């Protein structure tokens, strides 16, 4: 049967005719001798049994016969229309009655634009759009990031096992389930990676400012954030799986207290994330992280200076003129420079620690406002500022 499928056999058993197609598309006609008996198709297993019983078997090989290559001029009628059989398209096709388009749900892109979730893009990346049905029957716009996902280093952050989550519910009597609204859109994308989220529509090219659906590392990134937010209460009264929150208690009295805790956390206007405190006012340095800087002893080696600058440099955006203040320390990292801890290094070290404790709150810029870049070039370096 595989052989018949391979050569697209067309059988006419009554007429003893069989038409096969070669890999090149040529047709081979096989005509058998006419007789009184009709041909029967049998399975390979039955044929093997018949041979064992002594039935006569004949093995037939069919091979294609190489035919002469014909040109358009060799085929009648066809040779009158050589322009119809051009090997390549001359260019863009003319306007026709039917054009291909991708229609999005009305209001989807404008709504995301108004919320600031996406922005117009000039990125060389561009993924197609698709739609997925939600539980309530409505449609969610998703982006087909399969090609981008193939190039993405997979995040190994572990997602919890469902059976392990259920084990925590032993003895619980009262439950509440909370599903975050547009959970993924509550996590911003790194500025350096925004262009990779670009997608194309008939209305233009856009890119996401917030985490979109469809990215390979999106579930684990969101799971990481949720675990950070509810960490003190995990395995006590809260189960979290991506954007689903389950509050469980052994009594109604405990339940009221547990639910209040979870809702208060969700109400919080400040969230500690990656060593920063994010609030409606802006972004500031996490005081708990600065304590490590304040407790740092004066470095005694190049390795210790590198460690200190690595920690302090993480918050350099909060320190005006960070590179100038840290210059006496960074000079000791130069190749061939002897390690000498002088008053200049001590002053720079203490000043950095003091500035970090007084770091200002950085206000998030309004994306739709105009920005101006001022640049300057000297013999000793380059400088620019975004205002």
Domain boundary among 268, 298, 315: 268
In a shared domain, residues 246 and 288: no
92, part of any domain: no
Structure tokens at 269: 């206007």
Angle formed by the axes of helices 343-357 and 287-294, nearest 10°: 160
Q: Which helix (H) or strand (E) holds 350?
A: helix 343-357
Res 67: pLDDT: 63
* pLDDT higher than threshold 70 for residue 101: no
Domain boundary among 238, 268, 298: 268
Boundaries of domain holding 339? 283-386
102, part of any domain: no
Q: Could you tell me the sign of the dihedral formed by the alpha carbons of 195, 200, 206, 210, in that order? A: negative
User: Model confidence at 74, in pLDDT bands (50, 70, 90)?
Assistant: low
In a shared domain, residues 251 and 315: no
pTM of the model: 0.41
pLDDT single digits (tens) 126-135: 787 777 777 7
pLDDT single digits (tens) 317-375: 777 788 888 888 888 888 887 888 888 888 888 888 888 777 776 666 666 678 888 88
In a shared domain, residues 168 and 60: no
Backbone phi, psi, residue 382, to 5°: -120, 155
Q: If you average pLDDT over residues 16-41, what whole number do you get? A: 72
Res 93: pLDDT: 43
User: Model confidence at 98, in pLDDT bands (50, 70, 90)?
Assistant: very low
Indicate the number of domains in the chain. Answer: 3
User: Model confidence at 256, in pLDDT bands (50, 70, 90)?
Assistant: confident
CA torsion 71-76-82-86 (nearest 10°) is -50
What is the percentage of the chain residues whose pLDDT exceeds 90? Answer: 0
In a shared domain, residues 124 and 158: yes
Burial class (CB in 10 A: 0-12, 13-18, 19+), 311: middle
Mean pLDDT of the chain: 73
> CA-CA distance, 98 to 193, in Å (whole number)?
38
Q: If you average pLDDT over residues 95-114, what whole number do you get? A: 50
In a shared domain, residues 135 and 245: yes
- Neighbouring residues of 126: CB distance < 8 A, sequence distance ≥ 6: 198, 199, 200, 205
99, part of any domain: no
Domain with 373 in it: what CATH number?
A: 3.30.70.270
Domain boundary among 70, 85, 100: 85
The strand order across the sheet containing 118-120 reads: 118-120, 204-208, 199-201
In a shared domain, residues 263 and 122: yes
- The terminus-to-terminus CA distance of the chain in angstroms comes to 73
| Chain centre distance of CA 366 | 26
Q: If you average pLDDT over residues 155-175, what whole number do you get? A: 72
In a shared domain, residues 309 and 362: yes
pLDDT single digits (tens) 1-26: 676 777 777 777 777 788 878 777 77
3 state SS of 129: strand
| Chain centre distance of CA 379 | 43
pLDDT single digits (tens) 217-254: 787 877 887 877 787 878 778 888 777 788 888 887 78
């Amino acid at each position: 049967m595989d052989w018949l499928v391979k050569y697209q056999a067309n059988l006419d058993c009554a007429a003893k005719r069989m038409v096969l197609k070669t890999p090149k598309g040529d047709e081979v006609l096989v005509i058998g001798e006419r007789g009184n008996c009709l041909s029967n198709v049998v399975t390979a297993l039955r044929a093997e049994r018949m041979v064992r019983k002594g039935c006569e078997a004949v093995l037939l090989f069919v091979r294609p016969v190489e035919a002469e290559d014909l040109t358009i001029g060799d085929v009648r009628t066809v040779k009158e229309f050589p322009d119809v059989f051009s090997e390549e398209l001359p260019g863009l096709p003319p306007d026709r009655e039917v054009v291909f388009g991708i229609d999005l749900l009305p209001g989807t892109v404008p709504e995301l634009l108004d919320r600031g979730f996406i922005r117009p893009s000039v990125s060389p990346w561009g993924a197609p759009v698709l739609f997925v049905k939600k539980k309530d029957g409505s449609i969610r716009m998703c982006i087909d990031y399969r090609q981008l996902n193939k190039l993405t280093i997979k995040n190994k952050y572990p997602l919890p096992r469902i059976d392990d989550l259920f084990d925590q519910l032993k003895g619980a009597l009262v439950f509440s389930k909370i599903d975050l609204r547009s959970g993924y859109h509550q996590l911003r994308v790194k500025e350096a990676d925004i262009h990779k989220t670009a997608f194309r529509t008939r209305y233009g090219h856009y890119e996401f400012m917030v985490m979109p659906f469809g990215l390979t590392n999106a579930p684990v990134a969101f799971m990481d954030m949720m675990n950070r937010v509810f960490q003190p209460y995990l395995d006590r009264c809260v189960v979290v799986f991506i954007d689903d929150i389950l509050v469980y208690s052994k009594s109604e009295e405990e339940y009221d207290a547990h639910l209040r805790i979870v809702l208060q956390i969700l109400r919080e206007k400040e969230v500690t994330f990656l060593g920063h405190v994010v609030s409606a006012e802006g972004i500031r340095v996490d005081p708990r992280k600065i304590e490590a800087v304040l407790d740092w002893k004066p470095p005694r080696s190049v390795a210790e200076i590198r460690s200190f600058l690595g920690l302090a440099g993480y918050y350099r955006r909060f320190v005006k003129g960070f590179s100038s203040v840290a210059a006496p320390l960074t000079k000791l990292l130069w190749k061939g420079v002897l390690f000498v801890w002088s008053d200049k290094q001590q002053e720079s070290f203490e000043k950095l620690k003091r500035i970090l404790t007084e770091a200002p709150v950085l206000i998030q810029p309004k994306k739709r406002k105009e920005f101006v870049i001022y640049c300057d070039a000297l013999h000793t370096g380059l400088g620019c500022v975004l205002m």
